[in-house]
Amino acid sequence: MSKPSVLFVCVHNAGRSQMAAGWLRHLGGDAVEVRSAGSEPAEQINPMAVEAMREVGIDITANKPKILDYATAEASDVLITMGCGDVCPVFPGKRYEDWKLDDPAGQGLDTVRRIRDEIRSRVENLLAELTPAD
């Protein structure tokens, strides 16, 4: 079986989806293909998200917000949306989850840490589902 691919989507691809992608890469290693994108990508990643992830040893500073394109979404097995509502694409036969998470934009570090930790918990659950123990 080929490794599963996960696409994290939020509006700006600057906070939640970048933190989720960082966690999945960190926790899943080579077991899962990780992608992230936004329907209206920001200019840069939220500095508070970068700082919160740096505190747990995950460096997302080199990541850039990317526009969500049809091919990336179509090629992903699991699409996790985070507050992008109607602008998130729907593809038949894909697994969808909508994670209700606070937007870290404009928030202080304490709030972003809480969001980061909630994302970690969700990513751990997702990883356990995608990579069952043999």
**114 is a catalytic site residue:** no
* Sequence ranges of the domains in the chain: 5-130
**10 is a catalytic site residue:** yes
CA nearest 81: which of 17, 24, 127?
A: 17
**93 is a catalytic site residue:** no
**Torsions phi, psi of 44, nearest 5?**
-150, 165
**Rounded to two decimals, what is the model's pTM?**
0.93
What lies within 8 Å, CB to CB, of 26 at 6+ separation is 57, 58
For 73-132, what is each residue's pLDDT tens digit? 889 999 999 976 666 667 777 888 999 999 999 999 999 999 999 999 999 999 999 987
Buried/exposed code over 16-53 (b: 16+ C-beta within 10 A; e: otherwise): bbbbbbbbbbbbbeeebbbbbbbbebbeebbebbbebb
Which of 6, 24, 84, 127 is flagged as catalytic? 84
Class (C level, CATH) for 5-130: alpha beta
